[in-house]
Structure 1
Amino acid sequence: MPAVILFDDPIFRPQLLPLTYTRPVAELRCGIQTISEKWSSVLDSPVSYLTETYLSTKFPVNYSSDNLLINGSLCPDQDILKSITDLEKESALFSADGVLLALRTGKSWKTEDGIKGFKPVHYPGIPTLIREVWHIFSFNAAQIKADFERLTLNKKSASITDPFTHCYNKENIFIEEGVVIKASILNAENGPIYISRDALIQEGSMVQGPFFIGEGSVLAQGAKIRPNTTIGPFCKVGGEVSNIVILGYSNKGHDGYLGNSVLGEWCNLGANTNNSNLKNDLSPVKLHSYATNKLKNTGLQNCGLIMGDYSKAGISTMFNTGTVVGVSVNVFGAGFQDKHIPSFSWGGAAEGISEYRFQKALHVAADTVVRRNVDFGETDEKILHHIFEQTQMQRSI
């Protein structure tokens, strides 16, 4: 088996900021698993990452004498898997629109090396590529269904023992060991529900599939979970959510609405935080693009909040339709917030925005992580410092 390496596509990576400031593209979650977990599962192999230099200590690359490099934005399915595993050495697989999907080589390779000398192979199908941040929630329903089918094949769900919990289409619900569910409604008529080990579904929660909740995560009392929602591991979610993806380790623990949105890790939304996901004139939503530093038309009627890692919102924060919040932002105050809040910003639209002092931001980030019994070390500090310097010009505009 060749060494499996997931590479950041140089065009897609900046389009996936601010979420890719702190991780390789393949560490994004869409559906039940991250892209890297999907590939590790279908290939039954560990993976490594070809990513930005400042991330490479935390996410190293491991070459061998036989290397299978796969675009980190690409989600696997049976057709693409066959085409990739059939690749011969020194050949490269391309989509119909010219995207490099994968290559196989006996040498170390980087994206800047190009594909000169590789035998081109053309993939006839339409691959699922996470090219834009809004693709994460737009493709989430299909990815939950695909992951559910693969992960539950020939496996038996744990039982629901609570007599006050009601299930619709129970055969489309899979529960791992250690899950606690109390007096809730699970409706899998329109899509599967997957509940990971040690998750807690508290009293009065109402869940519509497709839905995934990760290990150790909690649905607070009376949570309303609308379809196409993914909650990563070790999160707490309450209030009303719809078609959102939370990568992991983040909280939206109180009442308030969040729809058509993506939250990174280590985020927190204060009580009664709400976002708009639909414009009053029903026109397509435009979103700040880090690739062009301009607004980009998503082509979607519904698009809410994109929030990078370590960012937090105070109580009763209101986010406009199509708002992008960078890494390590502390946003608060009255009125709707700006549609783009750069990384390491402090304040709000009404109070004004200032730079979040790096040492203060670092202390808060480290404290947030350590409280979850996760290590926060020198490598994490260096990553945040690089992002702070890289985004300084954004805050001065």
Structure 2
Amino acid sequence: MYADEKKLVNSKNLYLYETDCDLSPLDILRFQCDIYVGARTIRERFEDLFICKAKVIAKKRKGSIDIPEPTADRPFGPGLFCPSNFVPRSPIAIDGSEEVGVDGDRIVFLRLGASRAVKFDPKNPEASAVGLPRRPLSAAFIDKPWDIIRYLHLLLNDDAEFEIKNGADTEPPPNAVFDRSGGPIAICDGAKIEPFVFISGPTVIGRNAVVKSHSAIRASAINEGSRVGGELNSTVFFPYSNKQHYGFLGHSVAASWVNIGAGAAGSNLKNTYGEIRIDGEGTGLNYLGQIIGDHTKIGIQAALNTGSIFGICSNIIADGITPKSVESFRFGNEPAEIESVIKTARRVMARRNKELTSSMEELIRAWHRVLTEK
């Protein structure tokens, strides 16, 4: 995140409007723009580049569930409107003449004056673009969770350079080896690298994160407070998740408060070396491991299938190769009891001196009602 939030401008209107893209399970408990796409969220990237607080225009979720975070006030004012799954890599002027940025037939941004802004409809942004000049751009969009992996190396280079510019360490501690031939390596404040660790870039080890002894970390983002061990390749850990023991995870995304037990290992490549498909949909990727939702736990010695998606608040028990899809709120083959889910979340978060807020608890309970009702 930007080094000094006090420097972020509040007087300008930078709007991030949610789209209908399917980012589940990563956007079940957060806005689309608060998904980590490397070592920063999409929102943080906007704020770091634009030096301006972003305002979220939220979509209605299933069951009319709302994320308990501030959203943009209506009516909207003149400013810049961007889809919240667009990942910026360079700033765009917030003020100026009205204009639309496009990548092919996709809107990247709309710069709108007062009369158009007040009528802006996030479900139909094209209506606000009629008659405006169009500027062609090349843009990165996160339309599916695995698009994080598609753009990861590119974005991690940006992240590592950003963190280094803002004071992150770049030198290996004693008895650790850094290989920067593939990109920069940034070690943020409070991070601990134990002895006999190998790290290759581009990689960011976030604030107060821990990398355990004898680990090999390649091209990954280990975000704030996460603790990892074993072998990781091209993987993103959201804050406060654990994989402290031996075992491989590659081309994967683990959301917050995930725990991966000792010896669990994930496949990220099919034996046929072919394209990985999820629910019959081609990903365009030959390497893809696991997408793991918040508060999900994976048992020891689990063998994780290539291209798997696990929902939130589930407990995945090792019994041969795990299914490629596990719904939210499961305990092995049975439904998870919501009181047990809440009790576990409180206990896990307390170990990191964090609290399960009443609003987050109600959000989890609301999703349990919606996702488990028959």
Q: 1:156-167, aligned counterparts within 5 Å?
A: 158=169, 160=171, 165=172
Separation (CA, whole Å) in 2 of partners of 1:144 and 1:117: 34
C-alpha displacement of 1:334: 1.9
- Which residue number in structure 2 is paired with residue 65 of structure 1? 77
Say if 1:246 and 1:265, in contact at 8 Å, map to a contact too. Answer: yes
Say if 1:58 and 1:379, in contact at 8 Å, map to a contact too. Answer: no
The match for 2:189 among 181, 191, 197 is 197
Cα distance change on mapping 1:215 and 1:9 into 2, 3 Å: same
Q: Which moved more, 1:202-211 or 1:30-39?
A: 30-39
- Which residue number in structure 2 is paired with residue 216 of structure 1? 208
- Which residue number in structure 2 is paired with residue 238 of structure 1? 229
Q: 1:1-397, aligned counterparts within 5 Å?
A: 1-10=11-20, 12=21, 14=22, 16-53=23-60, 54-62=65-73, 65-78=77-90, 81-82=91-92, 84-85=93-94, 88=97, 91-106=99-114, 107-108=117-118, 109-112=120-123, 114-118=125-129, 119-153=131-165, 158=169, 160=171, 165=172, 181-226=173-218, 228-287=219-278, 294-347=279-332, 353-392=333-372
Q: Which moved more, 1:44-53 or 1:249-258?
A: 44-53
Post-superposition Cα deviations, 1:267-319, rounded to whole Å, max 9, x if no partner, equal: 000001101111111111112xxxxxx33111211111000101001111111
Say if 1:243 and 1:261, in contact at 8 Å, map to a contact too. Answer: yes
Cα distance change on mapping 1:254 and 1:51 into 2, 3 Å: same
3-state DSSP class of the match of 1:284? Answer: coil
C-alpha displacement of 1:117: 4.5
Separation (CA, whole Å) in 1 of partners of 2:38 and 2:243: 19
3-state DSSP class of the match of 2:109? Answer: strand
3-state DSSP class of the match of 1:335? Answer: coil
Cα RMSD of the aligned pairs, angstroms, is 2.2
One-letter code of the match for 2:183? G
Cα distance change on mapping 1:71 and 1:59 into 2, 3 Å: same
Cα distance change on mapping 1:146 and 1:324 into 2, 3 Å: same
Cα distance change on mapping 1:377 and 1:20 into 2, 3 Å: same
Separation (CA, whole Å) in 1 of partners of 2:122 and 2:168: 42
Q: TM-score, normalised by structure 1?
A: 0.83
Separation (CA, whole Å) in 2 of partners of 1:185 and 1:217: 18
Cα distance change on mapping 1:94 and 1:220 into 2, 3 Å: same
Say if 1:329 and 1:343, in contact at 8 Å, map to a contact too. Answer: yes
3-state DSSP class of the match of 2:153? Answer: helix
Separation (CA, whole Å) in 2 of partners of 1:346 and 1:110: 40
C-alpha displacement of 1:122: 2.6
Sequence identity percentage: 23
Say if 1:50 and 1:110, in contact at 8 Å, map to a contact too. Answer: no
Separation (CA, whole Å) in 1 of partners of 2:247 and 2:312: 22
Q: How many residues in Structure 1 have an aligned counterpart in Structure 2? A: 355
The gaps in structure 2 that reach 5 residues or longer are 1-10
- Which residue number in structure 2 is paired with residue 174 of structure 1? none
Say if 2:79 and 2:95, in contact at 8 Å, map to a contact too. Answer: no
C-alpha displacement of 1:184: 0.5
Cα distance change on mapping 1:121 and 1:354 into 2, 3 Å: farther
Q: TM-score, normalised by structure 2?
A: 0.88
Separation (CA, whole Å) in 2 of partners of 1:159 and 1:280: 37
Post-superposition Cα deviations, 1:340-385, rounded to whole Å, max 9, x if no partner, equal: 00000111xxxxx111011111111222223222232221012112
C-alpha displacement of 1:157: 5.6
Separation (CA, whole Å) in 2 of partners of 1:75 and 1:122: 19
C-alpha displacement of 1:6: 1.4
